[in-house]
Structure 1
Amino acid sequence: METYTLSGIQSMLGLSRAVITGLIAAGFVTPSRGKRREYRFSFQDVVLLRTAHRLQAAQIPPRKILRSLQRLKATLPEELPLTGLRIAAVGNDIAVREGDTQWAADSGQMLIDFEVKPAAAGNVSVLAREPQAAPVEPASAWFDRAVELESARPRDAEAAYREAIRRAPDYVDPYLNLGVLLCDTRRCREAVEVYIEGLKHAPEEALLYFNLAIALEDLQRTDEALACYEACMRLAPAMADAHYNAARLHEQLGHATQAIRHYSEYRRLSR
């Protein structure tokens, strides 16, 4: 059976490491472990993670995503395949649909797509929905479009990432991808600005600090890069790559003790 690495999942889905590890910690996604104790994700895990990504893009709070999906998993019968369900944001709630049935993930309360009222003669009449304005395209749609455009039309991809950020300033993933895209085209100064803007809206996102550190390294701003790796590790102590990069920079700066400490931690986490 084919499996996927954590970095592969991040690249494939555009999900931040924080969301992925949060779902693992909540017990909703249970990847296996490889020979070096690295996470290995099944296709079913990919489906669940993609669902979490969609809910995050709809600006459902992360705690509510984790709580609702946990409750959903606990209440489903074992023989019902979770991957056969449709899970989506409805306003500020999370709804689950199986066939023609829809219910709220938090409460289990059934949801309906029409309204009814008693008619004068005692019969039940179905009220037609009033015409609604066309829905505004969500930030997630712009993000998905940017991912598809990256390889062939990077400028259009950049514009789509920026539109996703404009529509949802606290949506972390467009900042991450846009910064990488800018660095890949030797525009690291602009990438630094993008990551700093992202941190204004998501100051607890370790991966933003990690990517910012890499961009600062490319600009030869070593001390600032090291400070960002340290901030990243404070938020995510188990991020092995941050320890390795910090060790390398400490070594360059002649900080032997700090370099040894981070190399040792990197080896421990990579087992």
Structure 2
Amino acid sequence: MKLFSTAEVANILNLPDSRIRSFVRAGFLAPARNKTKTLRFTFQDLLFLKTAKSLLASRVPVKRILRILSSLKRQLPDEQHLSSLKIYADGRRVVVWDGKARWQPDSGQFLFNFDARSVMRTVKLPAPKPIKANFTAQHWFNLATELEATSTEEAKRAYVRALELDPKMSDAHLNLGKLYHDTGMLKQGETHYRAAVEYGPRDPAPCFNLGVLLEDLKRPREAAHCYKEAVERDPTFADAHYNLGLVLESLGEKKEAFTHLRTARKLYLGK
């Protein structure tokens, strides 16, 4: 059986050696080691890492990726491999396609394709209810969360209306920031993430999301500060420890990076 070195995997997947080693430390996989203790990866390890890289690029949390891939191992027949599947992020869902069916591996729920136009022709839908003029900020927030699945722009407008009524609603700032972030409007996303950090002083999520955005803006020192604040707010936040470890490693702070990556691994494995 062909085995691959870390350098070969890095070349094949276009990943830095340090990121591959961090995947191993975080518990993504457990490659074999030769007599000199050098990591040796199988073809299945490569597929595993390729899938993890793709999902991370879609901002799927590390802990959820581990859970998804673990679920897939249980769901697939022994003779079926990851190479036969397409795994991708669809909005906030992770979907698996095997050529015949689509399903969400973390829930096991199958997804079906419907022709929306044919449904509209055969089903008479009730007229939409007019929006009440006396909607509260919470009403607008709830509406926005529902609209996210069908119209990002309408969801944004609903969050804006919520914030007009309650400028300190941290969850609205957080969700609106995420919508801006996901659509590439990073400056607007940063503004709302920072407001969520301020108005939700106990919530680690705004700090974490702001850290991810600052990494996208190539501002790693600021990102590290945000991840540190996230783990201060919640020491069990595994993804924050993991991202902090990676950023610190890229900044040359190896010792502190190892500490956070080790903590993330323990949290992922439930130790």
TM-score by length of 1: 0.49
